[in-house]
Amino acid sequence: MARPSAPAGIDLNWLDGKAPSLTPTGTSFGVPWNQGEVDRTTPISLTAAGKGVPVQTWPLAYWPDGSLKWTGHTVPANTGLSDALRLLTGPPAESPSRVSVVESTADITVTTGTFSAKFNKSGDVLIDSLSFAGKVQVRSGTLVVLVQNAPDEPELEVPRPTVIGTTGRVDSVTVEQNGPVRAVIKVTGKYTGGGHADFLPFIVRFYVAAGATALRLVHFFIYDADQSKDFIKGMGLRFNTPLSDELHNRHIRFVSADGGIWGEPVRVLSGLRRDATAAVLTPQFEGTATSDISTWPTSVSSFVSQLPVWSDFTLDQLSSQRFTIAKRTVAGRSASFLDNAGFGTRAAGVGYVGGAKGGGVVFGLRDFWQGAPRGLDVRGAGTDQGTITIWAYSPRAQAMDMRHYDTVAHGLDLSYEDVGNPDPNPTGIGRSYEVTLQLFPSTPSRAILAQLATVQTKVPQIVANPSFYAAHRLFGGRWNVPNTSTSGAAALEKRKSDLLDFYLLDIEQRQFYGFWNYGDVMHTYDQTRHTWRYDVGGYAWDNGELSTDLWLWMSFLRTGRADVYRIAHAMTRHLSEVDSHHTGPFAGLGSRHNVSHWGDGAKEARVSGSTLKRPFYYLTTDELMGDLMDYTLQADQTIMVWDPLRKVFPPPPPEGPGRLRIGPDWTTLAGNWFTKWERTNDTKWRDRIKVGMRDIGSFKYGGEGQGSYHLTMIFGGGEFLMEAMELITDEPAFDAAWLDFCKLYNASNADKIARYGKSFSSGGFSQLYAKLQAYAGQRLNDATLKQAAWNFITTNTVGVWPPVTEVGGTDVLNPISEIANLATNDAGQLSLSEYAVLAIAPELAPRSLSSTEEREWDQSTVAEDDRKEGKGASPSRATKRSIWRRLTCLQ
C-alpha cells in the first residue's frame, strides 16, 4: 500500500498555554501519527513563529506496517519559546550548538558550546566534573544513602540506632543518545559501603541538551533491603563546588515555591553597628560584586575579618506544609545551627552556591514539597570547596519504615483486605527523583532564580491540542473533545469537570503528598468520620484501582487542562514505581489497594500493566517509564508462581505450569506484549497475543461457576482490546467472542438465552460496561445497542454524586469540602464510560439530563454497590468462593 502524502503540519503549544521564559535543560515531547504517514526515513522539522527550530527525532512506536505510530522529539535549551509551534516533515534546522559525545575506556565527556560534563564509567563518583567556559564548577557527583539498623522510636528503651553511609557504585554505562540536540547517558549500579551488602539497585540517566549549561539527572532505585533491619535515613546526590570569591562576595540562595528568595552572603555586611553604606550593601544584597574593600568605610573594612563566617546552610522541607532554613558558622561541628534563619510553607527545591565573580551552581530537586521529607545542605561555604547535598529524603526526618502498618491479618469480611500468602513485603518496589544542576559565571539575579523555580515547579511541556489527539483515537479509548451540543450532554460534561475539580482540591486539602505517597489518591470515603478510609484494609490508598490514571489521562487529552495533566503525570509516576514490584519474588506484578501501598496479599498483573503507562510515556518520551514498562514483561513468569486463584481453588495439576484468568490476567499480559510490539515492531510479541486469541476463540460457553465479569475490562482492558482489534484483524473467532461479550454483558436474559441457551448474571456495574455496549453498537452499526448504552448512562445513579458540601466546627479537625460517600472507582471508571458513550453516539445524547441536585440520592444503591464488593455482612465460605469465581473468570 502506498504511503499517504506527508501531513501538512501539526500545531503544537505549551501545556500552560504560554511559552515559558526559559527551558534550561531543553524540552522533549511525543507526537502520534496516522498509519502510513511517516517512516524512519522521513525527516521531521519544527518551527516557532515561522522560524526553524533545531529538533532531534527518534521512533517511540510503530504501526504493524513499520510506519511510525509515535515519534519522540527534543529541542535545545531556551529554544522554541513561542506560544505556538508547528511540526512538519522536512529537514530540521541546524543547531548552532551541537552536542558532542566522546567516549573512552574510563569516561564519557559530553560537550555543548561552553558547557562540558564528564562522567566516570566505574567507581562511586558518577559525575567527574561539570565545567563552564573551561572552568570546573562541579566535582565528584556521588549518590549517597544513609541506612540505620533500627527505626526511629525514641519511646523505646533501646540503644540509639547505628547509621552507616553507602554510595552508588557504577556497574554499567551506556550512551543512549549522542546528539545532535540531546545526549542521554544511562548508568546502572548498586549502593555499597559501610559493611553493608550491596543493595538498592539503581538507574540514573543524565541528559544534556544543545545550548544548555545544565545537567538533568533522573534517579530511580529499587528497594531490595530487609524491611526489619534496613531503615533508610537519607538519600540524595552530593557534589563539590570550588569557591574562590572573597567571603563577602560568596552567596547562598534558596527559593520558595512562590518565587520568593532567601539570599545571604557567607560574610554578612548589613545590620552592623557601623554602616557599610548602600554602595557596599546594595551589591551584596543583589549578589553582584562589591567594590574593592579599600573603598569601604574604614570603620567597617578595618574589622571585617572579625565578622562570623557562615559556612553551613540547611533547608528542610519535612512536610508539605512547612520548610525551615538554618545556618551555622565556620566553627563547624562544634557550633550549633541558628534554626530561625528563614521559614515558609513550601520551597521550590532550588538553591544556589557560588561567587559574584567566580560563579557557581544552581541546583534543583523536582516535586520538592510534594515529595517531602526533602532537604538541601550546603557545607563548607567558607572554605575553598563547598559541598552540596540534595536530599531526596532528608536525614532530619524519621527513617523510612517499610514495615506493614499492623502485624495481624484483618481479612476480607470487614476490612476488605486480602492479607497473607504473601505477607506484606515491599521488596521490588521503587521510587525516582529528578535533579537539575546549572552552571553560572556569576551569581544569577533574584529574578532569574525565581524563573528557574517556576521551571522546576511547573516543568514546561510541549503538547498538541485536544482536537488533534481526538482525531487519532489514542490509547484505544473512544472519546472526543467536550460535547455541549445538547443540554443533556453539557450537563454531563459539567459533572465530569466538577469531579476533576474536586479531586484536585481534595489532593491539596487532604495533603496526599509524601515520598512514597505523592501521586496516589484514596479509594473510598468514610462519611461518618468525614475522611477517607485511610486506615481500613483495602479501602485506603487507591493504587490505580479501576484505572484512575487512565481517567485522568483521557480527561487531559480531551480538554488540554494543565492541572489535570500534572496530577495524571504524578499518578502514573507513583503507580508505576511504588505500586509495582520490579524485581524479586513478585517481579512484574502490582499490589492491590491497601493501607500500605505494597501491603495487600493480592499481587496482580492488572495493577502494573503497561497499557496504562503509555499516555505518560508517549507524551513525555520518558526513558525511565520505558524501563518500567519492560519490567512488566516479567509478569508472565511470576504469575505462574503466584497463582491468582491460589486462595480460592486447589493447586493446579502438576502437568500445567499454572492457570490464568482471561480477564485480569491474560488481557493484561497481552497488553504488556502489545506495548512491547508497538515499541519495537518485533512481531514475536504480537504472535504471543495471537496464540492466546486463538485459544480463547475456541472456548465454548458453559460449565458450573461460569462468569462474565472481570476487573480488567474496567482496568484499561476494554480500551486495550478496542485498539488491538483494529490492528490484529485475522483472529475472527476471538473477535466474535469479544463482540459477544461487549454486546451481551448488559443484554436482557432473553438475548443471553437466545445466544447461549441459558441466562447468567453479569455481576453488576452495567453503567461501567455501557462503553463496551456502545462500542459493539459502533462495530455492528446497531443504533439499538448505542441507545441502550445511553439508557444505562442516563438512568444510572451509582457514581453520580451529591453536591460538594462544607463541613466545619467540632465535626472535623479542620474545615473541609467533601462529597458524600465518594468512591474513586466510580469516579474514574464511570467517567471513562460516559466519555466513550458521548464520543461513539453523540447524536443520541439526551436533550436534557437531570442535575445531581434534582436526582434522589439513593443510599440503597450505595448499599447494593457495597454488597457487590463484599463490604456488607460476612458472606459464607461458599458465597465467597462464588463471588471470587464471578469476579475473576471469563471463559
Q: How confident is the model at residue 845 (pLDDT cuts 50, 70, 90)?
A: very high
- Crossing angle for the helix pair 668-680 and 683-697, nearest 10 degrees? 150
| Sign of the dihedral defined by the CA atoms of residues 850, 852, 854, 856, in that order | positive
State the CB neighbour count (10 A cutoff) for residue 446.
17
Which residue, among 260, 249, 243, 247, has the nearest Cα to 315 in the 3D structure? 260
First to last CA, the chain: 38
Closest CA to 725 of 64, 51, 24: 64
Name every residue whose Cβ is closer than 8 Å to that of residue 183 and which is 6 or more positions away in sequence.
99, 101, 110, 175, 177, 206, 207, 208
Cell 554499567 appears where? 172
Beta carbons of 732 and 628 less than 8 angstroms apart: no
Q: What average pLDDT score do residues 63-88 get?
A: 97
Q: What is the mean pLDDT of residues 417-440?
A: 95
Q: Which ranges of 621-656 does DSSP label H, i.e. alpha helix?
A: 623-631, 635-641
Q: Give me the pLDDT at residue 651, please.
A: 83
Q: What is the pLDDT of residue 850?
A: 56
- For 477-550, strand residue ranges (E) read 525-526, 531-532
* Highest-confidence segment of 233-237, 650-654, 756-760: 233-237
Can you tell me the distance from the alpha carbon of 485 to that of 344, in angstroms, rounded to the nearest whole number?
Answer: 47
Question: pTM surpassing 0.85?
Answer: yes
Mean pLDDT on 788-806:
94
pLDDT on residue 7: 62
527-553: burial string, b at 16+ Cβ within 10 Å, e else: eeebbbbeebbbbbbbbbbbbbbbbbb
Rounded CA-CA distance 207/211 in Å is 12
Q: How far apart are CA 736 and CA 725, in angstroms?
A: 11
- pLDDT digits 0-9 by tens, 523-579: 999 999 999 999 999 999 999 999 999 999 999 999 999 999 999 999 999 999 999
**Could you tell me the CA-to-CA distances from 53 to 11, 29, 474, 742 in Å, in that order?**
14, 14, 27, 47
CB 69 within 8 A of CB 194: no
In this predicted model, what pLDDT tens digit does every residue of 112-144 receive, in sequence order?
999 999 999 999 999 999 999 999 999 999 999
Q: What is the CA radius of gyration of the chain?
A: 29
Residue 234 β-bridge partners: 146
Can you list the positions of beta strands (E) in 402-475? 430-440, 462-464
- Report the C-alpha gap between 254 and 342 in whole angstroms: 10
Dihedral of alpha carbons 751, 756, 757, 759, sign: negative
Q: Between helices 766-780 and 824-840, what is the axis angle to 10°?
A: 20
Among residues 817, 735, 810, 814, the alpha carbon closest in space to that of 780 is found at 735
Phi, psi of 355 (to 5 degrees): -105, 155
The Cα-based distances of 498 to 94, 198, 800, 831 in angstroms read 46, 49, 11, 11
Q: pLDDT at residue 875 above 60?
A: no
Which domains are delineated in the chain? Answer: 10-89 (no CATH), 100-240 (no CATH), 244-389+434-457 (no CATH), 483-888 (1.50.10)
Task: Write out pLDDT tens, residues 330-346.
Answer: 776 678 999 999 999 99
Flag whether pLDDT at 106 surpasses 60. Answer: yes
Q: pLDDT band at 634, cuts 50/70/90?
A: very high
Q: Which three cell numbers stand for residue 532?
A: 477517607
Q: For all residues of the chain together, what is the average pLDDT?
A: 92
Q: In the chain, pLDDT over 70 holds for what percent of residues?
A: 93
Please tell me the predicted confidence (pLDDT) of residue 156. Answer: 73
For CA atoms 48, 54, 60, 64, the dihedral sign is: positive
Question: Helix/strand/coil (H, E, C) string of 237-283?
Answer: EEEEEECCCCHHHEEEEEEECCCCEEEEECCCCCCCCCCCCHHHHHH
Q: What angle do helix axes 732-744 and 749-756 make, rounded to 10 degrees? A: 160
Distance CA 193, CA 213 (A): 33
- Name the grid cell of 416: 476488605
- The answer to whether 193 and 164 have CB atoms below 8 angstroms apart is yes
The per-residue pLDDT for 751 is 94
